[in-house]
Amino acid sequence: MAALAQSANGKINYKNEILSGLTVALALVPEAVAFAFVAGVDPLVGLYAAFIVGLITSAIGGRPGMISGATGALAVVMVSLVASHGVAYLFATVVLMGILQIGAGLLRLGKFVRMIPHPVMLGFVNGLAIVIFLAQLPQFKTVATAEEAAVWMQGADLYLMIGLVALTMAIIYFTPKLTKAFPAPLAAILTVSLIAIGFGLETKTVGDMASVAGGLPQFHIPTVPLNFETLQVIFPYALILASIGLIESLMTLQLVDEVTETHGHSNRECVAQGTANIVTGFFGGMGGCAMIGQSMINVNSGGRSRISGLSAAIFLLIFILFGSSLIEMIPIAALTGVMFMVVIGTFAWSSFRIIRKIPKSDAFVLVLVSGLTVIFDLAIAVAAGIIVSALVFAWESAVRIRARKYVDDKGVKHYEIYGPLFFGSVKAFNEKFDPKADPQVVIIDFMESRVTDHSGIEAINKIAERYQREGKELHLRHLSPDCQTLLKKANFIVDVNVMEDPEYGVAMDNPPL
């Protein structure tokens, strides 16, 4: 139990953990059903995924307190596969998705989430908050039927819906000011549900979306041909789903780390996500990943340990098996109000305050990632944000390379290089030398520089060739050990003297001065 987050007195607050799990489970039901509809599968396929993925990741994952389940980011990718090949291919894809995620964890690729720039993280948070907000808007439409499409509510129905949502949000806001002994979201759901049932209010309920009643998930092997043609169909989907699932999970992990001021384990979470998806694929679930909205509900309700996530999964199964009639009575307005409060708590409002104070490139990345998350999906948004940030960094590093030049009392010219030497700075580096006008002996000092790639090595090689053609000596000084290793591996065409440097402990030969 060492991995469990604990209260200030060193003990787990079981009451808060279990009540937080109940709150999360109540919020998971409409989300799982809605995402199942998006993917074009039966609601129980989404509910089973929420139960299995949530249970396994809570038990063995790398981030206690984080909630996983069926998500919209994955559902929008699944819809075309289900439409073209059927649900059996979806289950096979989810199994392969899990295998790829386990492979990423075993290869320790989870650590690369640390390379995601902060503007990308802010864009991710803001984009997902907007997505969660937009996902609630259909709740303000009438229930669609086979004969008629859903339309926006009007009149008394709309006012009642807005009133119950506002009441839910108010209860969540004011409850912590009165007491922290009971999770505010759960208090709001129970209060609004009792009001709606007690006064017989005609408002949308969970049961209007779909029935959540069902039995235990059953093991079955996906009924797809085990051949190369099937692999050709499912592999592209599995790769995209695995990437989106890991990106969303690892970035949510970082967010929960910041909120709880604790540290999760990214590679362990990759393996847990993969294991959960393999199991859910064999038990008729649509797969899933971390859910930022439910994770924030859990953390804000007092869930800090694995117990809250396990409780949420178990409560969800109880709802499916025994409590469907009660759950179906909960007003959608109550759950919508909870999610609106999640949106308010998730969105990085500070980004409006800092956007004019940070570099324009960072502001652009923040807005870009937010927009692409809403328009496309998380994987495209994060990839684009990282690429733009990397290009900006490369450009700024390229223009920072400098050379301080002077001739000593022995007539030797020195070039003291400042800044990294890599593909982006090669042109500026080459322009700083004048082999024809320089004296017989030249020293390039890399004390404040670093050769980082093959382009940098090739630049040094070409400079050496230019000095050799002029019949002059070129020496390198203060090359760090890793730079010298790069030079050795490159098998320099031109012989360049690397001067002995006692500080670095490197000696290849000494030039006669």
Give 111's pLDDT tier (boundaries 50, 70, 90). confident
363 within a domain of the structure (yes/no): no
Same domain, 95 and 233: yes
365 within a domain of the structure (yes/no): no
Give 146's pLDDT tier (boundaries 50, 70, 90). low
Same domain, 406 and 315: no
Per-residue model confidence as pLDDT tens digits over 443-501:
999 989 888 888 888 888 889 889 989 999 888 888 777 677 766 665 554 445 665 54
Indicate the residue type of 103: G
What's the pLDDT at 10? 54
Q: Which of 133-142, 186-195, 394-403 has the highest mean pLDDT?
A: 186-195
Give the closest residue to 160 by CA, choosing from 224, 203, 128, 214: 203
Position 394 pLDDT exceeds 90: no
Mean pLDDT across 204-211: 88
Specify which residues 141 forms β-bridges with: 152
What's the pLDDT at 492? 52
What's the pLDDT at 490? 58
149 within a domain of the structure (yes/no): yes
319 within a domain of the structure (yes/no): yes
Mean pLDDT across 66-76: 89
3-state SS, one letter per residue, for 123-163: HHHHHHHHHHHHHHHHHHECCCCCCCCCCECCHHHHHHHHH
What's the pLDDT at 512? 42
227 within a domain of the structure (yes/no): yes
Query: What strands, in cross-sheet order, belong to the sheet with 497-498?
Result: 402-407, 413-421, 441-451, 473-477, 497-498
364 within a domain of the structure (yes/no): no
- Per the CB < 8 A criterion, the answer to whether 301 and 342 are in contact is no
Q: How many domains does the chain have?
A: 2
Same domain, 407 and 324: no
Domain with 412, as residue range(s), is 399-498
What's the pLDDT at 318? 96
* CATH code for position 409: 3.30.750.24
Mean pLDDT across 360-386: 90
Give the closest residue to 12 by CA, choosing from 309, 271, 222, 277: 309
Number of H helices, E strands in the chain: 20, 7
Per-residue model confidence as pLDDT tens digits over 222-267:
999 999 999 999 999 999 999 989 998 999 999 999 888 889 999 9
Mean pLDDT across 36-40: 85
Give 33's pLDDT tier (boundaries 50, 70, 90). confident
> Hunting for tokens 């499916």 — which residue is that?
320
Give the closest residue to 298 by CA, choosing from 28, 53, 12, 70: 28
505 within a domain of the structure (yes/no): no
504 within a domain of the structure (yes/no): no
Same domain, 336 and 404: no
Same domain, 170 and 249: yes
Q: What's the CA gap between 271 and 274, in Å, rounded?
A: 5
Per-residue model confidence as pLDDT tens digits over 449-461:
888 888 888 888 8
Same domain, 150 and 284: yes
Same domain, 335 and 459: no
Give 395's pLDDT tier (boundaries 50, 70, 90). confident
Listing DSSP states for 81-97 in one string gives HHHHH-HHHHHHHHHHH
Same domain, 86 and 187: yes
Given 348, 381, 411, the domain boundary residue is 348
Count of alpha carbons within 13 angstroms of residue 490, beta-carbon side: 22
Position 342 pLDDT exceeds 90: no
What tokens does 123 get?
Answer: 């864009």
Per-residue model confidence as pLDDT tens digits over 171-183:
999 999 998 888 8
Mean pLDDT across 279-286: 96
Mean pLDDT across 70-74: 86
What's the pLDDT at 274? 97
- Residue 485, Cβ neighbours under 10 Å: how many? 11
Same domain, 177 and 277: yes
Position 160 pLDDT exceeds 70: yes
Same domain, 336 and 407: no
Same domain, 104 and 166: yes
Q: What is the dihedral of CA 217, 219, 224, 226, to 10 degrees?
A: 150
Indicate the residue type of 62: G
Given 348, 372, 388, the domain boundary residue is 348
Same domain, 344 and 457: no
Indicate the residue type of 156: A
Give 511's pLDDT tier (boundaries 50, 70, 90). very low
Given 317, 348, 379, the domain boundary residue is 348
